[in-house]
Chain A
């Protein structure tokens, strides 16, 4: 159809048509040749490319660079927004990091709670710390187990690792734990490996000091401090901490329990304790010498009342 019309047009002389035919023949022949003998034509193509593209090269590099620079400018425009987004994401990441750290610590503490070796005679009730004393002068926490769970006064409270304090004041659903750092806390301890008996006395600092040591020269910083069980106040052998020496040369105990983050406390049932009819019996043995027996209970009563 095209050829018929082309013949009718006056622009196509015979020479032009012949030329057109030759061109088409050459093109199609080249294509067929490529299909039959591809490597040769591809070599030809490579030569053509090799001649043509380097002639573009003088312009290609600058134009490419210009386009890339323009793209870079576009990205510069976005850079402030990107920065803001990154800051926001970083903030979220920090929150997640904090959560992960807290979970890690809680996990370690729970693992400690599971793995700690205890005297098989002891069973325990685990409670969650609900509140602290709310006063800088009293070191105590409130846990969410009480007389409903069979908690009794005088029982030992530990976290997963070390002794924390003693129960002093039991409600129906809550119990108060007086910490070892409280100024009213007195706990008989044994210092290993020397085996010295001593008394751990809280003084409202992070590290209670050790007093009434028979042979202080046998004690070195780093010695382990355990409860001795003297006076049946606590079961024997509960880990308290390690001896450390303060700048004044006084022996103190670096507590094993993590006092900064008291969350879960384990209250040890110890029925071997004496029956406590009055609060004073907790500290004072029943059979005291006549002279010193009576003032101690009278002193303890208002203190306990103040705690409660």
Chain B
């Protein structure tokens, strides 16, 4: 059974890595060289949260840390802080995953929203305490709202297209145990 499950899990981890690399790639495209007055959603974060709340075994903390650290380095953010906070947030959601499994999507969305708020505020607070220059608060809020709005889309795409589904009671037997 373990042999059956492993390639699938590693394949999905590779898929997550590919998706994140693709998103980083899209961000790095030199299409907008002028400073923009708006901030788009953090799709990587939404993807991570959506996958954590569905199949936590597809997104191990080490993978999240590596991906977001790379993003930190590439996007000229303060290295390490955002990725550490994302890892903590994902772990928080991971612990709630079992409880959220049978609840509605609204509850999941609410959880994601609170986590996002905590993440954004904590990030800005730590940067402010350490006297690091940061982006305007408006842009952070814009990104937070955009991420929150795009989260259902990412979740639906993950569920329908990428087949990252919550574990149903039948799956447990087929897979030979809960992950």
Contact = CB atoms under 8 A, between A and B. Distances in A.
Please determine whether chains A and B interact with each other in the same assembly.
yes
Contacts of B25: 56, 59-60, 63
Contacts of A59: 25
A28 B81 contact: yes
A95 interface: no
A217 interface: no
B62 A23 contact: yes
B65 A64 contact: no
Main secondary structure of the interface of B (DSSP, over half): helix
A64 B98 contact: no
A28 B61 contact: no
Nearest to A56: B25
Give the residue among B30, B84, B130 with the most A Cβ atoms within 10 A. Answer: B84
Interface string B21-55: 00001001111000000000000000000000000
A237 B109 CA distance: 99
Contacts of B28: 53, 56, 60
Interface in B52-74: 56-57, 61-62, 65, 69-70, 73-74
B116 interface: no
Contact of B80 (A27, A52, A53): A27
Interface residues of B, number: 32
A27 B84 contact: yes
B117 to A, nearest CB: 16
Contacts of B161: none
Contact of B65 (A6, A16, A23, A53): A23
Nearest to B95: A5
Contacts of B31: 64, 67-68
Contacts of A20: 61, 87, 91
Nearest to A8: B95
Given A5-B95, A24-B88, A67-B31, A31 B80 contact: yes
- Measured as residues with beta carbon below 8 angstroms from the partner, the interface class of chain A is 20 to 34
Contact of A27 (B69, B92, B96): B69
A76 to B, nearest CB: 18
Interface string B82-98: 01100110011011101
Interface in A128-183: none
Contacts of B96: 5
B74 A52 contact: yes
Nearest to B56: A11
Contacts of B70: 48, 52
B135 interface: no
A116 interface: no
A29 B80 contact: yes
Interface of B: 25, 28-31, 56-57, 61-62, 65, 69-70, 73-74, 76, 78-81, 83-84, 87-88, 91-92, 94-96, 98, 130, 132, 179
Interface of A: 2, 5-6, 9, 11, 16, 19-20, 23-24, 26-32, 34-35, 41, 44-45, 48-49, 52-53, 56, 59-60, 63-64, 67-68
Q: Top 4 A-B pairs ranked by shortest CB distance?
A: A31-B80, A30-B80, A27-B84, A5-B95
